[in-house]
Structure 1
Amino acid sequence: MNYFREFYQMMVRGSEAYARWDLEASTNILRSRKRMGILFLLLLPIVIGGIALAAGDGLPHMIGGKTAYMPSHYTNVIFFASIFVGVCAGLITGCIGAGGGFIIAPALMSAGVKGILAVGTDLFHIFAKAIMGSVLHRKMGNISVSLATTFLVGSIAGATLGGMLNRYLYDLNPVLSDLFITTVYVFILGFLSFYAMADYWTARKGEAKTKEADKKASREEQVPPMGKRLQSIHIPPMLTFDEGVTPGGRKISAIFLVISGLIVGLAASIMGVGGGFLTFPIFVYGLGVSSMTTVGTDIFQIVFTAGYSSLSQYAFYGFVFYTLAMGMLLGSLIGVQIGSLVTKVVPGIMIRGFFALAVTAGFINRFFAMPEKLQSLGYLQITKSTGAMLNTVGNCLFFLAIGTFTLWVFYVFFKNINELRSEESFSHLEKPITKDSNLKELRTEGN
């Protein structure tokens, strides 16, 4: 059980690393006139499409008609709904510091978007943000080039397999494709939900005595037992890394990096996420790589894995809904900024509770969606109306939880807006976020 808890804690740290990157990328976009101009150009086709629809002339197929993008078509409602999804995800990422990416695909699927389209669109949204707000050059000092490039060999292969698998299942039966993606989310979010709730109630009871010990252990950069075992296996070629952490550095076989990349790329391509929540536990817990090197490599792989997956595995086959992606990008830019500011005036224990709530809401949503899909495929003997009712219940609970969280964050933001306007409260946005910045520290300051 302790192994699973440690793995969960590493997953959370990976999500936190992604949240820091997301906040910095969003800040870079909003503070640059050039990048904002690029964003306007990307949104221009949507504006033109809205005018065309209002005029009653419809849209040409190349912008997003049903022929060009098989399961989707443009409506203004869909665009504004995608902005809402982006805002919610951004608020979760900025306020909680982790977990925002987990709710995007479930939210889109709950709104009626096909699973494969939700995955491809989410990956494209991540890639667009990475390119526009690129902060990779600031992280290059943390990257072991040999680890990163070897890891990418595996992640590109994994992303290819994941994309091929999703497309194959969709060609067989769109419902089967949705069921597969839903099942993956149920297992991942179920695991996160169980441990997030357990950690929250433990903290509520005042039993979180190992928090400081965990911080100390992370600073000492001790290699976990599994990492020691894998580093002791000498299968050429051997890669040297962490020279700045320990004299002479550490060594590990390239084969383990390729396998790790394969796992992360596969998960990212199937689920439509950056893959950072897996990179961190695999690198630190499994391979024995230092946290500093892991963060840099994680940001590096997100850009390339998301870019390759979204374009070569989904966009080229018509499974990226451009309108949704741009709406989510616009919404998340706003949400992540507001969420990060709210951490200044919210107790840390409440942040933990909302993280647990967010992943649990995603888990319940996908879990309640499964019976209807199993019934449609003939794998579960229930009436069609029962399956539809369960799906509706899951959707209502999901949007109720996420909607309540969103309203609460905006309430706290506007209630404390005078305090947040002060120079001290905005100081963390006045300078670039460095490798040492940590959203947890911001929360602590707000306690």
Structure 2
Amino acid sequence: MGNSGQTVQVGGMRRPRPLSPLREHLRDTFWFTPAAGLVGAMALATLVLALDSLLIEALQEDGEYGTVSSLIKLSEDAKSIITTVGSAMLTFIGVVFSISLVALQMASGQFTPRVVRLYVRSRITKCTFAVFLATFLFALLVQASYEGDADPRTVTTVPVISGLTCVVLVLVSLVLFVAYVNSTLRLMRVSHVIDRITREAFRVLDRYERGSGEAPALPEAVAEAEHQGAAGVLRDVHIARLVRIARRNGTVLRLVPRIGDFVVPGTPVLAVHGGTRPSPRALRHTMTVGVERTYHQDPAFGLRQLSDIALRALSPAVNDPTTAVQCLDRITQFLAAVVDRPFGVLHHRDAKGAVRLVQELPGWSDLVDLGFSEIRGCAVGNPQVSRRMLAALDDLWWLADDERRVPLARHRTLLTQAVERTAAEPADRAFALRPDRQGIG
């Protein structure tokens, strides 16, 4: 689109707020769950200490001083246990933190730096940190509530219920520690990492409605909304808010960049077609720009990560074609799932069915190129990879219609030509160009 239309500057993108759905943005942060655990620990400590006070008060009113004396003696033993728990939890936290750093370093170096997001989004890792920190804080608060008075007639609280609660928290922490170690070991195995990436990619597809394939007839563009925040990757847009804004102004908004594109200040991010242009204030906080791509609203990000892992595996430093074959398995699975989906643009409508927001999606050729182009360039000299790619192209050819077979035929031709140029012996060429779903099965 040219610059002849009017321009509306979208401010407020420098510090984006969490947008809809909020859960996705919180999953991309590591601080929220541990912080919630600390708040929960303070609330739980306040509650159980109040119950302890009510228990002692009820026993004193009934004249059960012998029972109170027994509880005071029992609390002395519990005090040593809780003190031990408080110091041990710090050690546990340090062990968990160390394991996390080692796992992140290995995953980033062996697979791709983009898989670090899997660890950040891991629920078991966040819950383990949250419960460990909560147990440590709870133990400190219980220790602070101990009284030096041993007279059963004047003591106001004896940490009985709080001591039992602390023991329960320790047991939960131990279970979570075992689950955390198991989860971390799984994420350090490439097969499980590839499987997690694939499942995340399919979740994105499930959130999207099917594209209509053809853009509606839009009125002439009357304005452009420029990005005025910091440069970064367009992570997602607040679809519901943009639809409401377009409906109030009687216009249709078109998202200029795709989700995952890098945008710089001054470039157009929204085109306004017809109606009245929205005010800059109304368009504030309608999109999130960050330093890296996310799964949320980005259907191609999963293929990007699978391709990166395959390229790292095929590098001379790693030389692991089996991992590249595993990535090709999942790339084929993803492309087979979208082979019959209409591509083009995605139309977001208001309650009355009118199109209010137009969003461009990656096309079939874009996804095929993303999944195969770079791996194809590194497949030469690796017959295991070339054979698996040819089998993948055969499977997709069988599923695709005539129009969508064009990029598949192009990749098959380019791969065949590359192998014929590099393999000197006819037998090697024939072997490398024989389709095999296991590579060399």
TM-score relative to the length of structure 2: 0.23
Task: Please say which structure displays the higher CA radius of gyration.
Answer: 2
TM-score relative to the length of structure 1: 0.23
